Amino acid sequence: MIRSLYYAVALPDARPPCNVLHLKVYYPAAATGSDAERMTGVIPADLSCAPMPVVLFFNGINIGIESYHWLALKLASANLVTVLYAHVAETLPGVIGLTPGIDLSKVRPDTYGSAPTCPAIQSILDCLTRLNEDEHHPLYRALDLNNIILGGHSAGGTVALQNGQFFAQVRAVFSYAGHTMASTALGFAPGTVLKIASKPTLLLRGARDGVIVSSRIRYGTEELIDDPVAKTFDEAYQESAASQAYDVLIQGANHFSIAYPLDETAGRSFLDMEMTRPASEVREQIAGLILAFLQNKPLTGKHIVVRKK
């Protein structure tokens, strides 16, 4: 049985009303049949699986967390407690929307690498610590908070890649359609690729990603053919004998293949190319690759090209 819980977390130093994160935590549950469960719908975690690793997943800009519900179910079914969250704040200066919460002041040539680029991470980890230690909470003693996985899609994938280096408890990072090419508007030279941690890293990308293609002007590389995700794999990952990185190109997939159902009234889905494979098949493959990576299994299958460091 997979259940979920909601929680609200204050974001320090953020100005109201954009200072609240709304969490949804997916976890394996074990029903006791109590009256309290029947009246509230709140069911305790299955402690036979505990302590369980925690996946903190970052949404893309203006993509609601319901679009990642299907993936959260897959991960939780593999005993990976999965946290999604909604945060309404500035996505760009003066523009309000759904965001993973990027602190652009920490993504500049003189600041990158000095501090986390996403303040939400520490606030969420602090919240999970409190819940894990609260004997009255359904997640009591269910979480392995020394085994955190950062994952994300699009800008959320960028957040995952940028922040693994700042948290010792992060064991692995995965991203779909995310990269660390830096915007020239933030002061970076054209073609700059920001470094990421030497932790186990999985970069997934679709061969028909129209959003990344249409966004290259941000990085001063609109005339270049290099894929920003491939460049992140080639130039950003700092190789280490203790970890590995993978770059996986998925044939027939596009930028939003991981998001289902997709709300096409928000975001930039109008820039994407059409998928050339069934959407459900592609989603199953994405989930299978993520789980294989996290379970240290080979990344194999049809319609993919895998590079490894």
Question: 10-40 pLDDT, tens per residue?
Answer: 998 888 999 999 999 999 999 999 988 999 9
**Helix or strand holding residue 290 (H, E):** helix 279-294
Name the pLDDT band for 179 (thresholds 50, 70, 90). Answer: very high
Mean pLDDT for all residues in the chain: 94
Residue 178 near residue 161 (C-beta atoms within 8 A): yes
Name the pLDDT band for 66 (thresholds 50, 70, 90). Answer: very high
Residue 305 pairs with which residues in a beta bridge?
Answer: 249
> How much is the pLDDT for 175?
98
> How much is the pLDDT for 241?
67
Residue 243 near residue 199 (C-beta atoms within 8 A): yes
Over residues 66-95, mean pLDDT: 95
Over residues 102-124, mean pLDDT: 94
Q: What is the pLDDT of residues 247-274, one digit of tens each?
A: 999 999 999 999 999 999 999 999 999 9
pTM given for the model: 0.95
* Residues in the chain, total: 309
> How much is the pLDDT for 131?
97
> How much is the pLDDT for 218?
87
Query: Between residues 61 and 94, which one has the greater pLDDT?
Result: 61
Q: What is the CATH number of the domain that holds 144?
A: 3.40.50.1820
Structure tokens at 241: 């004998």
Q: How many CB atoms lie within 10 A of CB 278?
A: 10
> How much is the pLDDT for 225?
63
Over residues 168-172, mean pLDDT: 96
Q: Which amino acid is at 288?
A: G
By residue range, what is the domain housing residue 297? 2-308
Name the pLDDT band for 116 (thresholds 50, 70, 90). Answer: very high
- The residue assigned the tokens 């203790």 is 242
CA distances from 76 to 71, 247, 261 (A): 9, 24, 19
Over residues 197-206, mean pLDDT: 95
Strands 95-98 and 52-58: unpaired
| pLDDT over 70 (residue 223) | no
> How much is the pLDDT for 145?
98
As for how many domains the chain has, the answer is 1
Name the pLDDT band for 219 (thresholds 50, 70, 90). Answer: confident
Structure tokens at 101: 């919460």
Query: Between residues 144 and 104, which one has the greater pLDDT?
Result: 144
